[in-house]
A and B are shown apart, each in its own frame.
Chain A
Amino acid sequence: MNPDMFFLLASVLFSIGLVGIISRRNLFIVYISIELMLSSINLILATLSKLSNDPAGSVMALIIIAVIAAEAALFLAIIIHLNRLKRSIDSDDFKELAQKGDS
């Protein structure tokens, strides 16, 4: 058990979340990827907290867990609202704010 393994796992999971956000168009998968990135930050914070023997890192991770819960509620409500508007969960269908002729 050394901290390198935890750091490697957390950075790989963060990057997988980033890849999911970049490459997929399903809104649910974008949401799950954001959650994955936030949770891997949590893992890094917990590892650093154990490394430096300081409970502040764990407190930060706890607050991030609460933020994840709030973000989940809002994001899912927005997805349900968008699906009710257009019957679609494709992020390419929601580009009213793009410039005209840009589509």
Chain B
Amino acid sequence: MLETSIFIILSLFMLGGSIAIITNKQTVFSVFGFLIVMIGFGGMFALLDNRFLALAQIMVSVGAVVVLSMLAVLSVNAQEKNLPNEPYKYRWIVFSSILVLPFTYLIYKTLSSLAKEFTTNGFTSKDIGSELFNSWVLPFEIVSILLLTAMIGAIVIARKDNS
């Protein structure tokens, strides 16, 4: 019962944050919504009894990605007049929501036909670690190369061109 109420409160926060992302005109408020949604994802992982993912979500997504987005938004510093002029924003949002609604229903129906109950006891972080370094070593190494290339590429793209 307690878990269900925590879930409902967290999911209301996440839905509100995600609606704030797509409806706000000022980008900074959208990033605050993004922050709320990412913390909510961390809470969801904790509710799923997956401590490792919750910790990784809080450290990487909230600690790095959201802070980086906020720094980028603040350094771009778009004035009110430089923001895109979107007079029909709400009309577009309502229209595309109607378009996307059957797709949402399809995803939900497909996933919820898998199982109705959590039956197992779950696993610990130790199992995740041994799985990661036994069967998933190659993807792990590829991800490290990907992160290195992304870092170098971001530096090269965002550098001021002096020539």
CA distance A90 to B127 in the complex (A): 46
The total of chain A residues at the interface (CB under 8 A) is 76
- Classify the secondary structure of B's interface with A: helix
Given A28-B30, A77-B158, check contact A46 B118 (CB 8 Å): no
| Contacting residues, chain A, for B116 (C-beta < 8 A) | 2-4
How far is the CB of A38 from the nearest CB of chain B, in Å? 10
Within the complex, which residue of A3, A32, A42, A47 is in contact with B34, where a contact is CB–CB below 8 Å?
Answer: A32
CA distance A11 to B148 in the complex (A): 32
The total of chain B residues at the interface (CB under 8 A) is 88
Given A33-B22, A53-B123, check contact A15 B100 (CB 8 Å): yes
Count of CB-CB pairs between chains A and B under 8 Å: 251
Within the complex, which residue of B83, B131, B140, B146 is in contact with A55, where a contact is CB–CB below 8 Å?
Answer: B131
Chain A residues with CB under 8 Å of chain B are: 1-20, 22-26, 28-29, 31-33, 35-36, 39, 42-44, 46-56, 58-59, 61-63, 65-74, 76-81, 83-84, 87-92
Chain B residues with CB under 8 Å of chain A are: 3-4, 7, 11, 14-15, 18-19, 21-22, 27, 30-31, 34, 37-38, 41, 44-45, 47-50, 52-53, 56-57, 60-61, 64-65, 68-69, 72-73, 75-76, 78, 82-86, 89, 92-93, 95-97, 99-101, 103-104, 107-108, 111-112, 114-118, 120-123, 127-128, 130-132, 135-136, 139-140, 143, 146-147, 149-151, 153-155, 157-158, 160
